[in-house]
């Protein structure tokens, strides 16, 4: 796989070191000449001294042969433009961009970046995933946070305890995918009755999490 990385700072440097053992062909674009020399000498990979938003530089590095383009400079605007050029001008199928300001993630997605990555958002999500609000816990966020995998504990105080799923009017964008009862994993249907001590695994939109909590845990319980 041919991977081109725009930005040879600490993130780009250690990204290359991480990817090299997997036998990928990797090239770097970096505007600072001394950084280029360091990367070329230490990592022994092709390095182009230039700007990742410059079409001539992208042509020099043969971006049309690239499988994945990754922009990790310290400027969101440059990362966005570089990814757009990679897609539109060179037909790169997969683009990944560092997003320094988490508020820009949605903009990057709308403007065609396949995977915008914000370290701030990742850390915040990791913290949130560890928080358990009295019975409902975020296990995983999918599709850049739009879908959420939840684990919910059914207690004797749960409004759904001893009720069948067909009798529970859960949010329309929520799916109950399994019920864990002791060591048994149950694939539920409408006639599955939820019991005290059950753990249910659901997929929902992030917007429906609060409503989901109301249905399965109870309103006002934190």
**Which of 40-48's residues contact partners 24+ apart within 8 Å by CB, and which partners?**
43/13, 43/16, 43/17, 45/16, 45/20, 47/8
What three-state secondary structure class fits 169? Answer: coil
Please report the domains of the chain, with CATH numbers, ordered by start residue: 2-122 (3.40.50.720), 134-217 (3.30.70.1450)
Paired with 98 in beta bridges are 117
pLDDT at 125 > cutoff 80: no
Record the pTM: 0.62
- DSSP label of 63: G
What is the per-residue pLDDT across 134-176, written as a single tens digit (0 to 9) for each? 567 777 776 656 788 888 889 888 899 999 999 988 877 788 9
**Residue 221, pLDDT above cutoff 60:** no
């Amino acid at each position: 796989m041919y991977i081109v990385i725009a930005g040879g700072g600490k993130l780009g440097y250690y990204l290359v070191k991480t990817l090299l053992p997997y036998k990928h062909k990797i090239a770097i674009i970096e505007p600072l000449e001394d950084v280029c020399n360091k990367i070329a000498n230490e990592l022994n990979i092709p390095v182009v001294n230039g700007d990742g938003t410059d079409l001539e530089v992208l042509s020099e590095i043969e971006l049309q042969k690239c499988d994945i383009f990754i922009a990790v400079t310290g400027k969101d605007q440059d990362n966005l433009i570089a990814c757009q050029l990679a897609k539109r001008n060179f037909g790169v199928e997969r683009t990944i961009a560092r997003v320094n300001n988490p508020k820009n993630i949605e903009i990057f997605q709308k403007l065609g970046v396949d995977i915008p990555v914000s370290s701030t958002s990742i850390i915040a999500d990791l913290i949130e995933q560890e928080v358990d609000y009295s019975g409902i816990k975020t296990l995983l966020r999918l599709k850049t946070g739009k879908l959420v995998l939840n684990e919910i504990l059914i207690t004797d105080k749960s409004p759904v305890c001893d009720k069948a799923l067909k009798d529970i009017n859960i949010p329309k964008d929520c799916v109950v995918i399994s019920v864990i009862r002791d060591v048994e994993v149950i694939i539920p249907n409408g006639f599955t009755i939820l019991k005290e001590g059950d753990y249910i695994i659901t997929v929902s939109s992030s917007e429906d999490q609060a409503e989901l909590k109301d249905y399965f845990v109870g309103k006002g319980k934190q």
